[in-house]
């Protein structure tokens, strides 16, 4: 009994010491009122602090900026042409007509909640494996309006969009949007972005299992060091899949929208500039000014000529949501 009592006392003392240390850490970091708010699970609003880039770095940038170059409607057509040409040059899209997808294979087909899910694999123009999904209603139809979804970054990938069971489901943030659209009568396609989802790389010691964003980031840095651009490759993959989609007999090729979620928002902007057959574009949280935010650049040299808001403006008169 005495040993048990002594053991309990030791555990109690250790617990008190641990709590005191934790409290001391937070007491030094936050005021009493902030601690009170946090323990009540209330959010504390913080003003967004944008980076302050020294002025000498900001000289001679955004040369094709919309505000600088478009003063009236007459300027727009010429400016849009300049944006298009510079986009093609910077991203090295000299050969826009990429070859059709090669070795397209149906990997699996199954029924999910009264819908039909098909998984495809194919060869990209550079030989990499493209993985994408088709989700369509399980009833007879001649053709349906179609949405091609480009997911955000992270290993959860297409599964997040389609609501599929995966070990990364705790990280989902796309809210099963693909399944919801199919339930409204659309055909939905979802691509896996290079570096994430089912297209992750073995990043070795650079990544741990809990870092769902690491694989794509490591691949992006490596490609940049090799003179390549992951963002461009993701656009190229998506354009190839788009061409495959529009030739499906049950897809209304005149009514194909592309939806970009987070990272995908930037990708669909690039697709919209190059691919005229896109009916409309939905950008969900991927529309951001890299000049204002800073520190998250994708392509070296981009801000010398334009920012993402300029690319979006150049998509007019195509509907953008």
Q: Specify the pLDDT at position 18.
A: 45
Q: Nearest to residue 293, comparing CAs of 55, 53, 47?
A: 53
240 CB neighbour count, 10 Å cutoff? 22
Side by side, the strands of the sheet bearing 280-284 are: 102-112, 115-123, 129-137, 187-191, 144-150, 251-261, 280-284
CATH class of the region 102-287: alpha beta
Instruction: List strand residue ranges (DSSP E) for 277-319, in order.
Output: 280-284
pLDDT tens track for 99-143? 788 899 999 999 998 999 999 999 998 899 999 999 999 998 889
Helix, strand, coil fractions of the chain, as percent rounded to 5: 45, 20, 40
Q: What gap in Å lies between CA 192 and CA 149, rounded to an integer? A: 10
The structural domains of the chain, with segments of one domain joined by +, span 2-39, 102-287
3-class DSSP string for 136-174: EECCCCCCEEEEEEECCCCCCHHHHHHCCCCCCHHHCCC
pLDDT value of residue 280: 96
CA distance 311 to 88: 12
pTM of the model: 0.82
pLDDT at residue 286, rounded to an integer: 72
Q: Are 156 and 198 in contact (CB under 8 A)?
A: no
Q: Tell me what pLDDT residue 22 has.
A: 44
Q: Which residue has the tokens 């989802």?
A: 197
Mean pLDDT of the chain: 85
> Residues in the chain with pLDDT < 70?
1-48, 95-98, 209, 294-298
pLDDT of residue 45: 57
Are the CB atoms for 128 and 201 separated by under 8 Å?
Answer: no
Q: What is the pLDDT of residue 4?
A: 47
- Rounded Cα distance, 107 and 98, in Å: 24
CA geometry: angle 316, 319, 321, nearest 5 deg: 120
């Amino acid at each position: 009994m005495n040993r048990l009592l002594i053991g309990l006392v030791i555990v109690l003392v250790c617990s008190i010491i641990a709590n005191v240390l934790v409290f001391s850490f937070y007491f030094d970091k936050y005021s009493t009122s902030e601690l009170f708010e946090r323990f009540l699970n209330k959010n504390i609003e913080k003003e967004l602090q944008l980076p302050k880039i020294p002025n000498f770095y900001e000289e001679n940038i955004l040369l094709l900026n919309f505000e600088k170059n478009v003063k009236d409607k007459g300027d727009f057509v010429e400016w849009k042409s300049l944006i298009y040409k510079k986009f093609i040059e910077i991203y090295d899209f000299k050969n826009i007509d990429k070859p059709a997808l090669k070795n397209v294979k149906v990997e699996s087909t199954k029924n999910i909640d009264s819908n039909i899910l098909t998984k495809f694999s194919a060869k990209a123009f550079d030989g990499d494996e493209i993985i994408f999904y088709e989700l369509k209603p399980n009833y007879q139809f001649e053709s349906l309006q179609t949405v091609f979804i480009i997911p955000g970054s992270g290993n959860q990938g297409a599964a997040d969009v389609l609501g599929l069971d995966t070990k990364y489901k705790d990280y989902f943030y796309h809210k099963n949007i693909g399944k919801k659209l199919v339930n409204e009568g659309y055909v939905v396609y979802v691509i896996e972005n290079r570096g994430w989802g089912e297209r992750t790389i073995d990043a070795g010691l650079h990544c741990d299992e809990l870092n769902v964003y690491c694989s794509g980031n490591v691949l992006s840095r490596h490609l940049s060091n090799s003179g390549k651009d992951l963002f461009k490759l993701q656009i190229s993959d998506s354009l190839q899949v788009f061409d495959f989609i529009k030739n499906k007999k049950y897809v209304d090729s005149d009514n194909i929208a592309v939806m970009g979620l987070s990272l995908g928002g930037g990708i669909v902007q690039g697709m919209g500039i190059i691919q005229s057959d896109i009916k409309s574009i939905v950008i969900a949280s991927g529309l951001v000014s890299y000049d204002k935010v800073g520190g998250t650049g994708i392509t070296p040299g981009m801000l010398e000529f334009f920012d993402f808001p300029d690319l979006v403006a150049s998509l007019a008169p195509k509907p953008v949501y």
